[in-house]
Every structure is written in C-alpha cells, then in structure tokens.
Structure 1
Amino acid sequence: MRSLIRFFQRLCAAVVRVCRLVPMLPVVVVTAIPLAVLGQWRPWDAAVAGQSSLSAQPAQHGAASASSIAIPVLGDPGVGQWLVIALVLIIVTDTIRGMIDDIRNGQVGVDLLAVMAMLSTVAVHEYWASWAVTLMITSGEAIEEYAQSKAEHSLTALVKAAPQTAHVVTLPGVGRGKIQTDSANDGFRHTSSARFAAAQRFATVPVAQVQPGDVLMVLPGEIVPVDGELLSGEATLDLSAINGEPVPRTVFAGARVMSGAVNGSAALTMRATQPAAESQYQRILQLVESAQESRPAVVKTADRLAVPFTVLALVIAGVAWAVSGIPTRFAQVLVLATPCPLLIAAPVAYIAGTSRLAAAGVLIKTQDVLENLGRVTQVFFDKTGTLTVKQPQVVRVEMLPGVETQLNEDHVLMMAGVVEGYSVHILSKGIAKAGAEAMARLRARFAAGQRDCPEPEAGMPGHGRDYPVVKNIEETAGKGVSGTVNGHAVRVGRLSFAAAQEDGFLPAAAGGVADSRRAADADSPGLAGKARNSADLRTRFGMLQPDEMASYMSVDGQLIARIVLRDVPRANAKAALAALHGLGVSKLAMLTGDKRASAEIIAREVGIDEVHAELFPEDKVAAVSAATRDGSGDRPDGRALSVPRTGVPAGKDFMAKPVTMMVGDGVNDAPVLVAADLGVAITDGTSTAASESAQVVIMNDDIAAVPRAIAIARRTKHIMLQAVVAGLVLAVIGMIAAAFNLIPVVVGAFLQEAIDVVSILWALTAVLDRR
C-alpha cells in the first residue's frame, strides 16, 4: 500500500512539474472533453428554430438562411469545435512569435510546418486532427524540456553545487579585506547583546562580496566559497564535486583550499586568496556554461537541413492536393511532416554527450570539441605527470653490503621519509610517501609501546618509540637534508653529502673497499680522495638503470643504504593506450625533454609507438604543429611516419578529417596544448591554468579518461545520426503514405507525435553509461 501511495505521489509530482514547464499542455488535454461531448452541439440552432416557428411562409426561407451561422472556411462549428479553433489560434500566435524571435537570433524558424498543419486541419474541418496537432506541439515542448533536463543533469548538478554565501570574520585586526576594515573602523561598540556581538564577529555575505585577504569561517558540511589558504590546524575536504575523488583529503595549515570542496566534520578557518569570480569552481562553471551555450557544427548543419525538409513536405502535400483534388490530402501530409528529429534530437544528443563527459570527470569548452573528439587519429603525450605519476617513486631500497645494522628496508624508509618530509626537493615527496607507507607497515607489525624502530647499531637493545621524534632539520641546497631522528643524526641526499664527515672524507666505518684505500687516500688531495671513495661505494651498490635516480642515507655518519627512485608509469597507462589503439587511433607519440634512454623505457612499458626525447618547449610545439597542419604526423626531423592504423574496420573510416590531440598537465605544456587541434589537460581539479590552455580538462587525474572521452564522443555522434535519420525516414514514409490516403488525418497526427518521441528519447540515450 505504501509503495502504491509513493507511486501516486511521484506521479502527481511529475504532473505538476510538467504543468509548470508547459502551462498550455493541461489546457490542451482538458479541451478534449468538450470536443468529445459538445463537439457538434449548436445551441444557437435551437434559438433560430424557435424564432422560425412564429413566422409564416417566408419564415422557412429565413430559417434556412439563419439556422446555421456559416463562416467562410470554418463552416458552422459546434461549441467544442469552437474551443479547438480558439486553442489553435492561441498556439499559432505563440508559435509565430517564437519563429520571429528565432529569425532575429540568427536561427531558422522552421515551425512553419506545425502552423500550416494546424490551420489546414481546421480548414478541412478535421477538428480532432487539429486537437492532436496542438497536443503534439505542447507535449513536444514537455518532452524537449524533459530531455534537456535529463541531458544536462550532470552539468546542472555542478551549477547547483556552486557556493552562494560565505561567513566572513569581522573582528578588527583579523584579515585584510574591506569587511574587516569596516569593522575595525566601527570598533567593538554595541556589545551588550550576545546575538549582536556574534553578528559583529561574523558576517554572512554573498560570495561575490568576498575579497582577497578576508578571513572566512567554513562550518562542517558547508562548501568552501573561494580559493584560499588554510589557517586552522587541519581540515578534511571532500573534493568529489571538483575532481570526482571519492576519498576525502586531509590538508594542514598553509595548504591551498579550493572553492567547491565540502568541509568535513570540523569548522575550518581560511584566508581568501582569490575573489569568487577567479576561484577554481567558477572556472569549472565557466567551462560548463560555454559548453551548454555552444552549438556544434553538426547541429548547425541539422538546422540548415530543416529548411529543405520543410520545402519537401510542402511539395509532397501540394502535389497530393493537386493530383487528388481533395484539400484533405494537404492536411494529411502536413500532420506527418515533423522536423523535430533535426531540430530537437540532434542538440539533445550532444547535450547528453556533454553531460556524460562531465559525469566521467571530463569538461569541454564547446560542443565542437565533442565533435572533434570523435575524429582523433593521433595523440601526443607528455611523459612526466601524464604517462607517469607526477613525482619519482621509490622502487627499492638497497642496503650497503658489508655493513652490519639492525635496520631493515622499512626502517630506512621511515627514517628517511620523516626527514625528507621537510624538504622541497623533487625526490623528497616520493621518499616521504614511501616513508609514511613503511611507518604504517611497522605500526601494523608492532603493538603500541613496542619498538617500531630499533637502534641502528647491531647488538644494541635500544628503547624505540611509537613514532619517531624528529629535530634539527636542515636542508643544504643541491645536496640533501639532515636531521635528528630518535636521537640519531640522519643525512639523506647525494652520496657525497650523506657519507661525508667534517673533514670531507668518508667515515672509516664504511668498511670493505673503502677501508683498503683509506690509507692511500690520506695522501691524496681531498677532492680526489672523495671521488675515489664515492666510486668505490657506488660499485658496491651496483649500477643504476638509465631511468633510475638515487638518494643515499647515513645514520650517525655511517652510510646505511641507497634509496632508488624512478619515474613510474601510471597504473592504468598501458591499458589506456591499448584502448586508444582499439578505438582506431593510428599513432601514439611521446614528447619529452628527458633523456632518450629513460623515455624509451617508459614508452616500452606503456605501449607508445614513437618517442621524441630531449625536446625544448619550442620543439614540442613544432612537432605538434606539423602534425596538425598536414595530418600526416611527420617527425620533427622531417621523416615521414609509417604507422598502420589499427582497430578501424575496412571500408569504415568514419574519421574523415584527422584530428591531432596533445595530452599534458596543462601548466608547463600550455604552449603545445594550444598548438594541437585538441589540447587535453589531465589535472586533479586543482589547476586553474588547465582551463586557460586546454579545450578538454580531465578533472579526476585519470589517463583512462582520454579513451573514455573519445568513445563517448563517437557514441554520441552515432546515436545522434541514428535518431535523426530514423526520424526523418519515418516521417517521409508517413508523408508519402498519407499522400495516397493510406493514413487518416487524426492517425497521422498521433503517428507524428510517436515519431518525435521515439527520436528524442533515442537521442537521450547518449547520456547513459554503456561501457
């Protein structure tokens, strides 16, 4: 019973929404009742007949002439039929007004067929057909509104989530914005009321009034209104509305907080660094609005095709009338002439595709980008941060052979990680991340209060701590970082920095080969001795691969281990590139400034066809510009490529005009992103430069979104073509059948409505996720 009640509640709510969208629809539906009941009723006939009975012979003639109120073309309609005529006139007037507005806005007004269909059915006294056409027009508007709202669901969800207000701290001396200045000028007056006092400390204002320097309070569950800097100790932020990241991110004082993020369970304090109009979420909304307002070339073409379709319909209707000599044939053809598959189905499909991309974390600047996405034939990738993760990652820890220690690899990573966490070097983040993971493994292995990290020297019992105590952090530019961890001096960085003592030489405890040469080195110049000892230690560790780099760690002057890092491909990079090949993309190339040896290793791991290494930014622009200009994908040195296209069925090259795509991070790749036919920026939603330089912005930092976007674009175009072609073919077949009197006027009107509904709903399937 409850489910039945809920069903009727949802049904009533849907009816109310439809009535609000198209107010004329319920009027048209209700008009069917008097048309059925009072359609032929003419009360004026009875009045005229009563007057005629009082007259003699001449009265018969008078009654004959007055018993019907005949109007040219309309004849003598009944009460219900007059209501339909009035309804037709109202809708025709409104439709003509809309056509005039369309022409003023530079669009072709092709509702002429609907106007002529309504007027022609009234002229031939087919009132039920007239009513059906009016129902078709009003219900078509409702269906269009429904389809548009469904197609734009993901886009409007972004807009609705936009922050509207902000809580500005108004205490004098806090912040540097206008609101705080005004508060300081007013002082602490009128403090007798607690409520008034609170109002003097916090002011809730429209987000547009927030200025850089204002200090804001964001309550639990509220949306961060503008970009800023976190002032409170830490905060947990939900970034799913920005980049689709499902797990909340914890940030600490000094971190950047972005507008659109949802605050966690504790209030946070932040300082605004950007006004609302220049904040990250507003940039995302600008992309959404530009995509919604744009009209792709294929939709513009569909609009232009609606004009010859209108002419064709009028020709078929006119020929049918002329040949048969029956005016009803004209109306029979026109009620089946529907340009809706062109005018509505095409844009609905593209808006649905744009919304589907947004749901997948991909934002586009215009709907023309959606068209170009479906024709990509070659893709250039940046290496670092695009094919690989953004920072080098730890791949292994090598303990120095011959050195006795109680530390294992996890201990080394933990101690190095807590020191490197204070460094700004490019390798520090990778080591700090690996250190945090090692600390978690150690914590899981030992119970609270037990030794997570033993003393470094072999045989020492040590006391250990639950968490390492870090002091005296100092970073030496270009060399490394040092500090005290649990009372032990730890140095991480270059070999010469990690292993050096105050005299500049390696410690005697290095042992092995270093010991055997210690005496010889004592008589050598300092630099030469250090170089030989460094070479000896590197030999003991072994050779690094071309794409590897290393940091060395010593504890209390004793070199302990080497931490090896490298650029690691994204986990799904190989699968994403294979998917691109499967979609028929002919060439996948890498453009990088790195050395060729390391670039080729990454290329082999992920499946790149071609590598261009050691390039300057202008070299990257030249390579992409050459491929964009001629579509041949020539190499920068002028030699032509010969890469077979894979994945495209024979005889079905549906990408007539080749499109070159460049995929980068949107910041240092900005020039080359602009040079390509299609620039794609892979970001985590925090880069504002991406929306400036790229036409496509991937907000979830997922390289798999590249083939997914191409697949969505192609599926959208296929669905659009299917909806348009199927609707037009059915309409033409129906018009020809009506010309031969095979389809009655009323049936034709309802059949046209069915064609419209099918084509529009089929176009709407582009919003569905069918991977």
Structure 2
Amino acid sequence: MAGQLVRRYPWVASSLVVLALVLGLLAGGEPTVARWVGSGWALLVGARIAVRMVRDLIAGHWGVDLLALTAIVATVVVGEYVASLVVVLMLTGGQALEDFAGHRARQELRALLERAPTRAHRLDPGGGVVDVDVADVRPGDLLLVRPAEVVPVDAELVGPETDFDESSLTGESLPVTRGVGDPVLSGVLNTEQAVTLRATAAAADSQYARIVAMVREAAESRAPVVRLADRYAVPFTLFAFLVAGAAFAYHRDPTVVAEVLVVATPCPLLIAAPVAFLGGMSRAARHGLIVKEAGTLERLAAVRTAAFDKTGTITVGRPALLAVRARPPWGSDELLRLAASAEQYSSHVLATTIQEAAVERGLALDSAQTAREEATHGVAARVGGHDVVVGKLRRVARSAPDAVEEPLEQGELAVYVAVDGRFAGTLVMSDPARPDARETMEELARLGITGTLMLSGDSTATAEHVADAVGIARVHAECLPADKVRLVQELPDRPVLMVGDGVNDAPVLAAADVGVAMGARGSTAASESADVVILTEDLRRTVTAVRVGRRTMTVALQSIWLGIALSVVLMGVAATGVIPAVVGALSQEVVDLLAILNALRALQDDRSDRVDVPGSAAERAEGAARAGGVLRPRLR
C-alpha cells in the first residue's frame, strides 16, 4: 500500500523524506547542511512550478502559481527553509488531497462501474445452465438470473413475475414488479427468486453498457477548475502582493514579506472547486441522472430558459391506436396490415405502435420489396404487390392527390395511408401527457426559470393543446429538426436547457447549452448528444438536475470564498510580524482542509431535491387526466 502511494505521488513522498531529513539534521546539530538540503529541494520544486506557470501563460491561462512560487523563493531567501518545505509539501500534497476527496465524491459513480456484470447463466436446449462471458450473450438467448444477481443484458421476462431493484439505474427506491413479457433493463437487481429472461440485445448494445460508458466519461471529465480559479487568481494575487508590500514598508523586514506570502498560498482555489464538482456529479447519479462532464453543472446552475420536445418528453411517448378509418375498397384490417408492413422499415415511434396494433389483431405482416423513409415525413414501401405510403398528409398527398384531411378531436392526429396512388384511409392515434409535466413546469417557475417553451413537429392545434394542459405558454409547432436547432440558437435568455428523447431531438440537444435526454426509453442518439441523461421516466428529474447544478456551484464558490477569507485574515495577522513562517504554513494547511470539507457538502441532498408529486397514485392519475387526457404523439 505504501509503495503504491509512493509510486503514485513521488513528489509528495520525496517532500516528506526531505522534510524528515532536514528536521533530523537540525536535531543532530547540522543547521548549515539542513539549510542547503531544504533550500535546494524547495527551489527544485519551485523550478517545476515555474515551468508549469510559463506553459500556462503561453496557453493563455493566468493562474495562481506565481503566488506559490513567490512564497517558496521568499522563504528560502530569508532563511525560513523549513517553512519553504511546508509550503512545498502543501503544494505537492494538493493533488493527493484532491484525489482523496474525489474518491469520496465519486463513490456513487464508481458503484455503477463496479456492478457491471461480467458473467451470465445461459440455458442450453437440454435444460442445463452454462456460465458464459457476458460479451458472448446474443439476442434470443435464454438466461437464468438468480436472486441478488444483476441482469447482464437487456431482456424480456419469460417468467415468473417478480420484483426488480432498479435503484442503481433510475433512483427509484421501491422494487418494481415485472410480468411475463415485460422488458427488463440490464443493470437492475433481481431481488426475490430465480427468473428466466430472453435476451433482446447484446451486452455492448444494452442500456447498462451505455450507462457505464457515460459514467466513465463523467468520471474522467475535469471540472472547470481553471476557469473558476482564474476568476479569483489575479485579484487574490495582487491583494497578497499589496499586503506583503505594505508589511515590508512598515517593518522594513523581508522576513515579514515571506510570512505574508506563506499564508497566502492559494491551494483552496485549486482544490475546493474540483471536489465540489465531483460531489455534484455523484449526487446527480444518486437521483438517476448521469452528468457527462463536470462543466455541465456550471451551465445548469445558470439556466434561464427551458425548452421541451413534446412526444416522449411532455407526453408519455407511448401512442395508442384509437381507430382505423379505411376508404373502400380497403377494409380496416387490410389497411392496418399494409401500413404496419411498410412501417417495419421506419424507426419512428408511431411505426412501432402501428406494428404492435397489427400484431395484436393477429395480422401477418409482409416483407417489402423496396422501402424508403423520409425523416419526419413518412415511409414509402412496395409491399405485397402494392405501393404503400404512410405518414403526414403532405407526404401522402404527393402520392395520392385525393387525400383529404381527417377531422379530429383535440389531442388527436391522424397518420395517412395511400395505396397504389389512391388515398386509402387514416390511422387515428393519441398520446397521454406525463402526470408530472405540469408539476415540472411549476417547479421550474419556482426556481426562476419562467422562460419555458415547447418545440414540436406536430400541428399547431395539437401542440398548443398539450402546452396549455401542462402550463407552457410559448409553442413552436410543425418544426423539423433543423427548425428546432435554429430556434434554440436564437433564444435570447441563455443558457438554454433542452429536454428531448427521440432521434429527431439529437441535433437540438447537441445545440443547446445543456441537452437533457429522457434516456430510460429514449433513443441512443439522443442520449449520446445530450449533456445529461435521465435514467427514469420522471420528467421532474429535470428540476433535480437544475437544483444539483445550483447547489454545486454555490458550494464550490462558498469553498473558494471560505479559503480566500481565511487566507486574508491570516495575511492581516502575518503582516504584523507575530506569526512565524512555519506556523503560517501550517495554518494554511488547516485552511485547505476546511475548504475541502466544505466542498464535500456538494454530496449532500437538500430537502428541495424531493420533487415527488403529493398524494396517492389514484390522485396522481386523476391529475394526469385533468392535465390533458389523451394527447397526440410525435410529428408525422
């Protein structure tokens, strides 16, 4: 263990050895040798700091290294070489202190990595169980998952019905019951009994693997330490030099200058911010939020405008087929069968609903001879000897000029179908609003984010109906992906937070200052483009993300100011000449420790983090009905 620490932190270990050697030489009556050894090591470390400082200046970064370098040189010049070594130990030990605090802050992030399954129990045709590497699992394999084991890949439950602990993915503390045929995400914990699952994805394509990849990226990201430190580095450095100059002018003693500069060594500026940001990322993970990089927390804290996609974000995103309105000579089942056959070649959320509705009616789907999807407009395919076009009215009307608009109730929208160049009918669908959507808007307003808007590909009437139901005042409807990007870029009140879930949302999530993906069921493209991924279907986690960002920034700035304030007090006392340089250096170590401990407060939850909707499940369901009943799905 000691050997690992020495290899990892050679400068810290060397500084400790030199300090011990110097103290031993002093105790043995060799002050001259002790001075040469201590001063030589301090100047060597100072030269290393000087090289780093020059590199930063060339790169355009003004840091706080100048103050630390001056403190080392000043103490060596006036003969306070023991104080020089304490300063050197403090500077070289700063990385070790940051790592120690960072290890505490990363615990929740590392928990996901440590729980990543590596083996799976595969059932062979003869009924036996074979342990295989999780990378060897293929879709369709039957897997046995025993109690207290983690589900290795995305799968569906074959049986029996049981409870799963999904807290590590979603933050949901209560077990979730899954029935036969229900999807089960990789990474959840089987709690009660052995179950059989059928793999639906390989390990590399499963939800947990994507989460682990995002967590690795998050854990490796660096907080905006340089930016935060640089904001205070110049005035803090100038103030320290001013105090040191005033002390010298009054005492005419260079020793007092060294004593002032020693207590002004700026370790709190360098250490407190990264510890606070790591704590904030860890806290977000506890709430089912993966923050991909620490700088996102700073932008979250400053968010002034929140934009939302509609389907799958404001609404549930699980559209239901209400009616099939066929035109002669087509019957409703035949129309649905042709439409579903064509939609097999579309990635749109409505395509899945149409296919599921056809399967539920026992309709056999045909393969297509040719198929082509036009993003956001529809799909055209050659199915069973027929040319079938499914999608928006404008697209279908190009193939079937006799297509007419379907009269709809508010909150509904039709998917139009043309067969062999003639209008064949419509598929009417609806999509319920999330029960937590209105609550989310109210919470954002209480946080001062009153600029909320909806960007939707749906018709104006449908989008406005949904927005009114959940309390969003500004609506931009009938948007293509490029329109959403342009609208977000043109928003005046920044930073802008954008929440979405679909493939169409990936460009605007990347364009926003903070992109938030509803990742529990959203597309991989959206999750990869976003800065924050919500691992549950709870839209209120958007509010939690903003709160975590604000608290993290508050704690980071408080820690920096705490270190600055204590350093200023110590500088004032040192300027009187009553604090020996060694005592001042040790006092600064105490300041560093206090700043780190305060920064670790970013790990703690506030009472305001609990944004659960009050009342029973029945009351929440009733609230959802009042919030808009059935609502129309995404752009088509």
Is this contact kept in 2: 1:379–1:589, CA < 8 A? yes
Deviations along 1:670-714, one digit per CA (max 9) or x if unpaired, are: 344344333222243675343123222111221111122122212
Task: Map 1:497-536; keep pairs closer than 5 Å.
Answer: none
Q: Quick one: which of 559, 566, 581 aligns to 1:723?
A: 559
Is this contact kept in 2: 1:258–1:280, CA < 8 A? yes
Deviations along 1:23-60, one digit per CA (max 9) or x if unpaired, are: 99899999999999x786546xxxxxxxxxxxxxxxxx
SS at match of 1:603: helix
Counterpart of 2:347?
none
Counterpart of 1:285?
212
Q: For residues 98 and 281 of structure 1, what CA distance do their matches in structure 2 show? A: 42
Counterpart of 2:130?
202
Determine if the alignment matches structure 1 residue 260 to structure 2 residue 187.
yes
Deviations along 1:279-324, one digit per CA (max 9) or x if unpaired, are: 3222112222323333455643525864775576567657755875
Counterpart of 1:762?
598
Counterparts in 2 of 1:584 and 1:476: CA distance versus 1, 3 Å: same
Give the drift of 1:263. 2.4
Letter in 2 for 1:340: C
Using structure 1 for the length normalisation, give the TM-score: 0.56
Give the drift of 1:373. 1.7
Deviations along 1:187-209, one digit per CA (max 9) or x if unpaired, are: xxxxxxxxxxx9xx62454x456
Counterpart of 1:504?
none
Counterpart of 2:273?
346
Q: For residues 210 and 87 of structure 1, what CA distance do their matches in structure 2 show? A: 61
Letter in 2 for 1:743: I
Q: For residues 612 and 110 of structure 1, what CA distance do their matches in structure 2 show? A: 47
Q: For residues 102 and 293 of structure 1, what CA distance do their matches in structure 2 show? A: 24
Counterparts in 2 of 1:26 and 1:371: CA distance versus 1, 3 Å: closer
Determine if the alignment matches structure 1 residue 603 to structure 2 residue 487.
no
Deviations along 1:340-389, one digit per CA (max 9) or x if unpaired, are: 23211122222222222222222222223222222322222233332233
Is this contact kept in 2: 1:317–1:334, CA < 8 A? yes
Q: For residues 205 and 46 of structure 2, what CA distance do their matches in structure 1 show? A: 41
Give the drift of 1:577. 0.6
Counterparts in 2 of 1:116 and 1:155: CA distance versus 1, 3 Å: same
Counterparts in 2 of 1:120 and 1:607: CA distance versus 1, 3 Å: same
Identity of paired residues, percent?
A: 42
Using structure 2 for the length normalisation, give the TM-score: 0.66
Determine if the alignment matches structure 1 residue 622 to structure 2 residue 483.
yes
Give the drift of 1:739. 3.8
Deviations along 1:561-609, one digit per CA (max 9) or x if unpaired, are: xxxx975433332222112122222322223344555544443332211
**Alignment size in residue pairs:** 521
Is this contact kept in 1: 2:563–2:592, CA < 8 A? yes
Is this contact kept in 2: 1:335–1:749, CA < 8 A? yes
Give the drift of 1:337. 2.0
Counterparts in 2 of 1:240 and 1:378: CA distance versus 1, 3 Å: same
Letter in 2 for 1:546: Q
Give the drift of 1:156. 1.9
Structural RMSD (CA): 4.9
Counterpart of 1:514?
none
Q: Quick one: which of 109, 112, 123 aligns to 1:155?
A: 109
Determine if the alignment matches structure 1 residue 580 to structure 2 residue 444.
yes
Task: Map 1:213-232; keep pairs closer than 5 Å.
Answer: 216-228=143-155
SS at match of 1:242: helix
Q: For residues 321 and 375 of structure 1, what CA distance do their matches in structure 2 show? A: 43
SS at match of 2:274: helix
Counterpart of 1:738?
574
Q: For residues 88 and 202 of structure 1, what CA distance do their matches in structure 2 show? A: 65
Is this contact kept in 2: 1:234–1:251, CA < 8 A? yes
Q: Quick one: which of 516, 528, 532 aligns to 1:692?
A: 528
Give the drift of 1:332. 0.6
Counterparts in 2 of 1:676 and 1:270: CA distance versus 1, 3 Å: same
Q: For residues 212 and 42 of structure 2, what CA distance do their matches in structure 1 show? A: 36
Is this contact kept in 1: 2:156–2:199, CA < 8 A? yes
Q: For residues 32 and 755 of structure 1, what CA distance do their matches in structure 2 show? A: 21
Is this contact kept in 2: 1:258–1:686, CA < 8 A? no
Counterparts in 2 of 1:20 and 1:167: CA distance versus 1, 3 Å: farther
Q: For residues 752 and 601 of structure 1, what CA distance do their matches in structure 2 show? A: 60
Letter in 2 for 1:707: V
Task: Map 1:72-151; keep pairs closer than 5 Å.
Answer: 76=32, 82=34, 113-114=67-68, 117=71, 120-121=74-75, 124-126=78-80, 129-130=83-84, 132-133=86-87, 136-137=90-91, 140-141=94-95, 143-151=97-105
Q: For residues 95 and 167 of structure 1, what CA distance do their matches in structure 2 show? A: 58
Is this contact kept in 1: 2:53–2:63, CA < 8 A? yes
Q: For residues 337 and 94 of structure 1, what CA distance do their matches in structure 2 show? A: 18
Is this contact kept in 2: 1:666–1:683, CA < 8 A? no
SS at match of 2:116: coil
Q: Quick one: which of 584, 594, 599 aligns to 1:748?
A: 584
Q: For residues 211 and 39 of structure 2, what CA distance do their matches in structure 1 show? A: 44
Deviations along 1:473-509, one digit per CA (max 9) or x if unpaired, are: 854699xxxxxxxxxxxxxxxxxxxxxxxxxxxxxxx
Is this contact kept in 1: 2:49–2:69, CA < 8 A? no
Question: Unpaired runs of 5+ in structure 2?
Answer: 322-350, 366-406, 414-428, 609-636
Q: For residues 235 and 178 of structure 2, what CA distance do their matches in structure 1 show? A: 60
Is this contact kept in 1: 2:223–2:278, CA < 8 A? no
Deviations along 1:715-763, one digit per CA (max 9) or x if unpaired, are: 3223322322342344345335534425332332233223222323222
Counterpart of 2:298?
371
Counterparts in 2 of 1:216 and 1:96: CA distance versus 1, 3 Å: farther
